[in-house]
Amino acid sequence: MADHSLTRKSPSVSTTGMRRILPVDMVERGRCPFDPPPGLRGEGAVRPLDLLNGARAWLVTGFEEARTVLSDARFSADKVRHRDATSPQPHKPAEMEAAVAEREDGLFVFMDPPEHTRLRRLLTGQFTVRRMRELESRVTEIAVEHIEAMRAAGTEADLVPAFALPLPSLVICELLGVDHADRAQFQARTAVGLNANSTPEEQAAARAELYAFMRRLVAGKRSNPADDLLSGLIHAAHPPLTDAQLVDVALVLLNAGHETTANMLGLGTFALLEHPDQLATLRADPGLIDNTVEELLRFLSIIQLGVSRVTTAPVTLGGVDIPAGATVVIATPEVNRDPRHWPDPDAFDLRRSRTPHLAFGHGVHQCLGQQLARIEMRAGLGELMSRLPNLRLAVPAEQVPVRDEMLIFGVRSLPVTWS
Ligand code: HEM
């Protein structure tokens, strides 16, 4: 029987589409590049949010309320099936309706239990302690190689293309088992999607090429399995996953793990350089690196408004009535600075006691790659600070361009110098 799974088009959900319908003060920064946008600040843990497309959503800025949204089954992650006010395509065509009646895609990030549970369990089984330990030494090697290449080239660099973007991209190559010979091609395509100057046509072409790349990768792993996540998934799943599901899973991992970690490395370095007292504390006691990583995740909360759900029933949240079918958006930067949860929440303090934050989400969709993300931040930032002891900005802080145009916050470039 012919395998049609490779030609079937998976339903896609665009989160960047949401950026276009958010009020400007919800995404644009005030004067400080590290504080939440002014529009997120304000009264009430839950409040209505009027989107530019005329739809109404609800914004959650309270820590406990956000935890409820992320752990209560009345808040659905299934934006493929539900009509979501933030979707660029709120009325789905009939063929899409038919395709999602029985979901056959691998976009588990947009699924609810029990559909989500099966794929999530298969994936969790691949994020083993052994694989993470092996990856940790590779992550350190990759970080060191890139820092040494920067040093060999002079005393100035743009940290984003030289370090922050390639590190997580290569780590995903390791995880998925992309051949060394194909990595430059893989990185070039992922970079187009992350470049704010790419045209929509260039982005669409890069997406199509990446999809074709992943199809070839999956086909290769089927015929030639190795010790990597994709090969493991192919052999662990009963009934087996289709090639289209495997491609979706690979793309989910790439999308979830690349831009996020890259921005935490770029913006995290910027935040450390702009808080010299904290940087001096870390340099004096490198054992504080784990605390530093957690405090950066809390303080910067780069996934600004990217975590959202749709209500499947009327709900009262934080004293506010929300109807069924409503989009509920988590304002992570505010949630992670809720004064009811942290004393002095706007202070960047790497000696802060380890109160859990929501930078990796919560509940069944809580970040699958958080252990890996922590390894990358620990190795990346730790090696940067120890190998470039004199690291500093090469331009005034106000000239560092931030990424207001993307849903995930960060810096577009970070000119640094050392001696
Ligand atoms: C510092 C970097 C990262 C941050 C801040 C981050 C943040 C998050 C958040 C907030 C969620 C929850 C989304 C939701 O509930 O709707 C999530 C989910 C996810 N993350 Fe991460 N992430 C990071 C790095 C990574 C890495 C390195 C990977 C893997 C290579 C990864 C893979 C995933 C996956 C697969 C999900 C979906 C899990 C599910 O739906 O069950 N993430 N991440």
CATH of the domain at 317: 1.10.630.10
Query: What pLDDT is recorded for position 10?
Result: 42
Query: What pLDDT is recorded for position 220?
Result: 95
- Sequence-distant (6+) residues with CB within 8 A of 262 are 160, 164, 165, 167, 168, 169, 194, 410
Rounded to an integer, the average pLDDT of 159-179 is 94
Task: With respect to residue 10, please indicate whether it lies within any of the assigned structural domains.
Answer: no
Nearest CA to 231 among 167, 178, 298, 307? 178
Tokens 């935890």 correspond to 67
On whether the CB atoms of residues 372 and 256 are closer than 8 A, the answer is no
1 has pLDDT over 50 = no
The residue type of 145 is E
- Cα 372 to averaged position of ligand 1 atoms, centre (Å): 10
- Cα 129 to averaged position of ligand 1 atoms, centre (Å): 18
- Tell me the C-alpha to C-alpha distance, in Å, between residue 13 and each of 18, 79, 81: 10, 7, 11
Q: DSSP string of 137-149?
A: HHHHHHHHHHHHH
Dihedral sign (CA 221, 225, 228, 230): positive
- Cα 148 to averaged position of ligand 1 atoms, centre (Å): 29
Ligand 1 neighbourhood includes 367 CB (under 6 angstroms): yes
Chain center to CA of 234: 25
Ligand 1 neighbourhood includes 256 CB (under 6 angstroms): yes
Task: With respect to residue 5, please indicate whether it lies within any of the assigned structural domains.
Answer: no
Task: With respect to residue 1, please indicate whether it lies within any of the assigned structural domains.
Answer: no
Please, which pLDDT band fits residue 94 given cuts at 50, 70 and 90? low
Query: What pLDDT is recorded for position 405?
Result: 67
For residue 417, the cross-strand partners are 156, 392
Helices (H), 154-306: 159, 166-176, 183-194, 200-223, 229-236, 243-257, 259-273, 276-284, 289-300
Ligand 1 neighbourhood includes 264 CB (under 6 angstroms): yes
Rounded to an integer, the average pLDDT of 383-393 is 95
Number of structural domains, the chain? 1
Nearest CA to 264 among 295, 220, 227? 295
Task: With respect to residue 8, please indicate whether it lies within any of the assigned structural domains.
Answer: no
- Cα 215 to averaged position of ligand 1 atoms, centre (Å): 22
Query: What pLDDT is recorded for position 14?
Result: 43
Name the closest-CA residue to atom 26, ligand 1. 257
Query: What pLDDT is recorded for position 27?
Result: 75
Task: With respect to residue 157, please indicate whether it lies within any of the assigned structural domains.
Answer: yes
Task: With respect to residue 298, please indicate whether it lies within any of the assigned structural domains.
Answer: yes
Rounded to an integer, the average pLDDT of 298-307 is 93
- Cα 306 to averaged position of ligand 1 atoms, centre (Å): 11
Q: How long a stretch of residues is the chain?
A: 419
The residue type of 201 is E
Ligand 1 neighbourhood includes 76 CB (under 6 angstroms): no
Name the closest-CA residue to atom 15, ligand 1. 365
Q: Which atom of ligand 1 is nearest to the CA of 362?
A: 15
How far apart are alpha carbons 351 and 295 in whole angstroms? 8
How far apart are alpha carbons 107 and 219 in whole angstroms? 19
> pLDDT tens, 197-211?
778 888 888 888 999
Domain that holds residue 25: 18-417
Task: With respect to residue 13, please indicate whether it lies within any of the assigned structural domains.
Answer: no
Task: With respect to residue 333, please indicate whether it lies within any of the assigned structural domains.
Answer: yes
Name the closest-CA residue to atom 3, ligand 1. 260
Average model confidence (pLDDT) for the chain?
A: 88
Strands (E), 267-314: 307-311
Ligand 1 neighbourhood includes 263 CB (under 6 angstroms): no
> pLDDT tens, 314-369?
999 999 999 998 999 999 999 999 999 999 999 999 999 888 999 999 999 999 99
Query: What pLDDT is recorded for position 93?
Result: 52
